[in-house]
A and B are shown apart, each in its own frame.
Chain A
Amino acid sequence: MKITVLMKDVPDLVEDLELEAGQLLVDDISFVVSEWDDQALEEALLIKDEAGADVTIVAVDTGDVDTMLYTALAKGADRAVKIVGDFTRRLTNRTRAAILAEYCKSESPDLILTGVQAIDDIDGQIAGLLAGYLDIPHASVVREVHTMDAQLHFIQEYSGGRMAEFTAASPVLLGIQAARKPPRYVTVAKVRQLQKSATLDEVQVVLPSTPGLTVRRLYKPEAAGHAEMWGDDADTVAEHIVRVLGEKKLLRS
């Protein structure tokens, strides 16, 4: 089983994002691995632990993705691929999907995993777009991926706690909601050791031309209202609760 995990880094939202003249100050941002991609990597590694697999991590080089790739190798991935080309941090999802499609076509993996979404891809477009480019089946909001008799079994979640079990023949592309276990820890020393001993495979891809939109200006969110502090006197707080419940018509008279 050849598994490819698509990973990217996203702004670390621990820090506030700064705007200047309606533009994001990208240089001031520190980037961290997208948490859903980290879940996808963990699920791939669990499949590898369970049934054996060759796990390749792929990232588009939009800046410093090396540490993220070495970390994935340290966790147990077999190969790390950095797609290099004339790319910036401002890649649209559609372009990113086209770049990844270019790479995946040449590799033809049995299973492609990626995070179901990212903070800069709330709709989870990448997975769908890429599946379209590759013309392979796709499911999102997926967990519990297992391989059985050359078939893939997985669960897709729906709203309201409903879920469905699927069986699919490879190749297939899945957007992972969560891995079966929390992503494993990897020590700083192990990452550093791999930075010395391992190499990242660089694959050149020409920037494809895709239709897209341009952001003219970004705005900071405007506060619609503020929290009302009720103090710590139990009676006052109780009165307020009763009042609010009454206002919302949640109390039976």
Chain B
Amino acid sequence: MLRIGLIVVTVALIVVSAALFLGRLLAIWAVMKTARPLNRTDRLGERIKSVVEHVVLHRRMFRITLSGTLHYFIFSGFVILLIDIVETVGEVFFPGFTVGRILAPLVDIWVILVAVGIVLALYNRIILKPKRFEGSDEKDAYLILGLIGAIIVGIVIHDSFFPFVAPQVFHVADPVARAHFLGFAVSRLWVALGWTGPTAASIGYALGYLIDIGVVFAFLAYLPYSKHFHIFLAVPNIFIRNLNPQGELVPEPIDETMAIRNFHDFNWKDIADLYTCTECGRCQAVCPAYAAGQPLSPKMVILKLRDALNERMAENTLDDPNTASLAGGVISPEELWACTTCGACQEACPVFIEHVPKIAGLRAALLEDGVIDPNAQKVLVSWDRQGNSFGQPARKRPAWAKNIDIAIKDARREPVDWLWFVGDFASWDPRVQRLTEQIAHLLERSGIDFGILYESEVNAGNEALRLGEYGLFEALAQKNIKALEAAQYRRIFTTDPHSLNALKNEYGKFGFHAEVRHYTEAFLEWIDEGRIAVKSVPIRATYHDPCYLGRWNGIVKAPRTLLQRLGVQLVEMPRHGAQSFCCGAGGGRIWMDETGMTDRPANQRIREALALGDVPFFVVACPKDVSMFSASVTAMGVENQIRVVDMADLLAGAVGLKTADEAILALASMATVSP
């Protein structure tokens, strides 16, 4: 009677929950099929490796120790839960079935671990209350924790009654007697209470069974409608992650438009991203726009899009032209234009959601409708007309070279070993020109055979693309590629990480492939080859990783090794390397209105450096950083505590250039020549 009842209930649960689960899955799948195509099933080996790294080893999850640990307990609990399901359903359907005496106690061990995980999760949510949960559906989180708690309670209950049910009702010996140690311990209580007869034990067993298996299948049916769908989607989403160079925003040349207005304009990975999001808020916690009090949270972008998609699926309005545009409607222009495209969100996401391409696509739609910051619009027009963001005549690009007494080779006319792609800021910004001149002096002094493209160089287009202006990016890229192809050089180096990113990662789709180095890499190479002799510059300094160097291009070692060669004592800020914190200039933000910003990211970063205590130098390796951080230090009035210096300043001092900064030169002259 008990068995038949439980079998009937179980079959009913399986049928209903599987139908609900599959129905939902198919509905989402249908949306993914109408989305833009994308190849994310190549490089199988690498994909499996990344799944192992990020699922089995939880690499990104463990960046927050408490959350990583509690998640690992609960996550592994779901794997072990399979043993329990097989065992519990098995013993009811086929009396005498067992998973054996080795697997059975594993269930009990994990019941304890999961319980610890739940307690830690509650501690995290109720006591610690991290800010990153702001905006997340906390009710859903508690519901899920409650369901998981119910399952483990159910497991212990049915295991505790099984020793009595097995012989009296199922008429088999308990094959794992005492192996379920928690159940066994609780069963002593039933003995004391005298609840061991066939009726009492049957009721107890049925109750435990229904709490366990019933909740499992209810969970299955509920999952795809909740944020906990990540239990199923996290693994595939990590599997289909972007394995191309991280800095490549657009993988293929675009014929029509990159604008995203409705859900069909997303690619299928974008749709999967929306349902994989767990609302953990790690992206929000690292977002410079959010930290600056801007209306943008990368988490909320994903959640708003997911909610809109759910609504349109439910109302069958996915193709309805009267629904609000995703760009400007579902996600406001203020949110979209606040993004610095620094990529910290993507780097933090444990399930590899790609926020930046979505934001860039949504921006492209705004741009097509003419919704853009007026200053940024001016810059776009300047790029189109003059090829630079400063609105200066193209032929004045190499004007900085006239300030120095060096004949710089014209790579368009004579072959050079190294082609220096200078970039807009290094060419025009008066604060950065000085550094550009230092670099030229350093190169000449070291006998490096180098040249520039003179007025044939135009802006690399990295920011145009990130503002959503694909057509302009392409036009700029084609101009540069034409000039580069006509020039004779062996390798390229650039002082600008944004140019580096475009040349290295975005020009490939137009058939341009060349070896591109950042100047920190190039100078390190020249020093190690013995072409440049450097004195030690014995300062205590911290180093700021530019987003487009460290995060998007993984160049974090070369600048540090270079500092080491220069004898600099490096003190790291808490956020460094791929986890660096943006200066706030990227993605075109440097030209946009800062109204409404409560705390500029660059100021926050300077405070982070000041908090290190007694670190008087803030080393940067990006022209935009020179502008941003110098402005912050001045605005904050902390010039006597910290100084922003570029790597070029240190190199000039270390080499003993006459034009070097006097303070740095004085420090270097006291030191001996490094080997």
Q: Which residues of A contact B (CB under 8 A)?
A: 12, 14-16, 30, 32, 75, 182, 184-192
Chain B residues near A189 (CB-CB < 8 A) = 257, 470-471
Q: Flag if A185 contacts B377 (CB, 8 Å).
A: yes
Chain A residues positioned under 8 Å from B393 (CB to CB):
14-16
Inter-chain contact A188/B471, CB cutoff 8 Å: yes
Stretch of B107-115, B134-142, B158-166, B384-392 with 4 or more beta carbons under 8 angstroms from chain A? B384-392
Find the B residue at minimum CB distance from A191: B471
Contact A185–B370 (Cβ < 8 Å) = yes
Residue of B nearest to A75 (CB): B370
Given contacts A15-B393, A182-B374, contact A187 B385 (CB under 8 A): no
Residues of A contacting B385 with CB < 8 Å?
A: 12, 14, 30, 32
Within the complex, what minimum Cβ distance (angstroms) separates B396 from chain A?
9
B223 to chain A, nearest CB (A): 41
Q: Are A185 and B367 in contact (CB under 8 A)?
A: yes
The answer to whether A188 and B475 touch across the interface, beta carbons within 8 angstroms, is: yes
Q: List 30 A-B contacts (CB under 8 A).
A: A12-B385, A14-B385, A14-B386, A14-B391, A14-B392, A15-B393, A15-B395, A16-B393, A30-B385, A32-B385, A75-B370, A182-B377, A184-B370, A185-B370, A185-B377, A185-B381, A186-B370, A187-B364, A187-B368, A187-B469, A187-B471, A187-B472, A188-B474, A188-B475, A189-B257, A189-B471, A190-B368, A190-B471, A191-B471, A192-B471
A75: chain B residues at CB < 8 Å are 370
5 shortest interchain CB distances as A-B pairs: A189-B471, A188-B471, A184-B370, A188-B472, A15-B393
Query: What is the bound-complex CA distance between A32 and B377, given in angstroms?
Result: 16
B386 to A187, Cβ gap below 8 A? no
Q: Are A185 and B372 in contact (CB under 8 A)?
A: yes
Closest A-chain residue to B370, C-beta based?
A: A184
Tell me the complex Cα distance, A48–B372, Å.
21
Return the chain A residue nearest B392 by Cβ.
A14
Nearest-CB residue, chain A, relative to B369: A184
**Closest Cβ–Cβ distance, residue A72 to chain B (whole Å):** 13
* Closest-CB distance, B506 to chain A (whole angstroms): 16
Bound together, the chains give a CA A184 to CA B381 distance in angstroms of 11
* Whole-angstrom distance between the Cβ of B54 and the nearest chain A Cβ: 37
Chain B residues positioned under 8 Å from A190 (CB to CB) = 368, 471
- With the chains together, A117 CA to B84 CA distance in Å? 83
Complex CA distance for A147 and B372, rounded to whole angstroms? 27
Separation of A208 and B560 alpha carbons in the complex (Å): 72
Q: Does B380 belong to the interface (CB within 8 Å)?
A: yes
| Most interface-central of A14, A16, A184, A187 (chain B CB within 10 A) | A187
Which B residues are within 8 Å of any A CB, using their own CB? 257, 364, 367-368, 370, 372, 374, 377, 380-381, 384-386, 391-393, 395, 469-472, 474-475
List the A side residues contacting B472 at CB < 8 Å: 187-188
Partner of B367, one of A15, A187, A192: A187
Question: Per a CB cutoff under 8 Å, which of A12, A15, A182, A188 touches B469?
Answer: A188
Q: How far is the CB of B151 from chain A (nearest CB, A)?
A: 53
Nearest CB to that of A184 among chain B residues?
B370
Bound complex: CA A182 to CA B376 (Å): 13
- Return the chain B residue nearest A45 by Cβ: B370
Distance (whole angstroms) from the CB of A19 to the closest CB of chain B? 17
Rounded to whole Å, the gap between the CB of A27 and the closest CB of chain B is: 15
CB distance from A12 to the nearest CB of B (A): 7
A192 and B471 alpha carbons, distance in the complex (Å)? 8
Q: Give Cα distance in the complex from A157 to B385, angstroms.
A: 32
> Nearest residue in B to A182 (C-beta to C-beta)?
B374
User: Which residue on A lies nearest to B258, using beta carbons?
Assistant: A189
Compute how far the CA of A48 lies from the CA of B669 in the bound complex, rounded to whole angstroms: 70
- Residues on the B chain within 8 Å of A16, using CB: 393
In the complex, which residue of chain A has the Cβ closest to the Cβ of B384?
A188
- Chain A residues with Cβ under 8 A from B395's Cβ? 15
A50 CA to B392 CA, complexed, in Å: 36
Greatest chain B CB density within 10 A among A12, A189, A191, A192 is at A189
CB-CB < 8 A to B377: which residues of A?
182, 185
* Complex-state Cα separation, A12 to B392, whole angstroms: 11
Closest chain B residue to A30, Cβ basis: B385
Rounded to whole angstroms, the CA-CA distance of A75 and B364 in the bound complex is 15
- In whole Å, how far is B593's beta carbon from the nearest beta carbon of chain A? 13
Nearest-neighbour CB distance to chain B for A77, whole angstroms, equals 14
Complex contacts, A15 vs chain B, CB 8 Å: 393, 395
CA distance A33 to B470 in the complex (A): 23
List 9 additional contacts besides A14-B385, A187-B367; criterion CB under 8 Å: A14-B391, A16-B393, A182-B377, A187-B472, A188-B474, A189-B471, A190-B471, A191-B471, A192-B471
- Given the known inter-chain contacts A14-B393, A190-B368, please indicate yes or no for A185 contacting B380, CB distance below 8 A: yes
A188 to B476, CA, bound (A): 11
**Chain A residues near B370 (CB, 8 Å)?**
75, 184-186
In the complex, the chain B residue whose C-beta lies closest to that of A186 is: B370
Chain B residue with the shortest CB-CB distance to A32: B385
- By a CB distance below 8 angstroms, the chain B residues around A191 are 471
CB distance from B424 to the nearest CB of A (A): 15
Chain B residues whose C-beta falls within 8 Å of the C-beta of A186 in the assembled complex: 370
Docked CA distance A95–B470 (Å): 41
Chain B residues positioned under 8 Å from A12 (CB to CB): 385
Closest CB in chain A relative to B588 CB, distance in Å: 13
Closest to A15 in B: B393
Shortest C-beta distance, A31 to chain B (Å), equals: 10
Chain B's nearest CB lies how many Å from the CB of A43? Answer: 15
Chain B residue with the shortest CB-CB distance to A16:
B393
Closest to B257 in A: A189
- For B381, the chain A residues whose CB sits under 8 A away are 185
Complex Cα gap A15–B395 (Å): 9
Bound-state CA distance A187–B366 (Å) is 11
Nearest-CB distance from B386 to chain A (Å)? Answer: 6
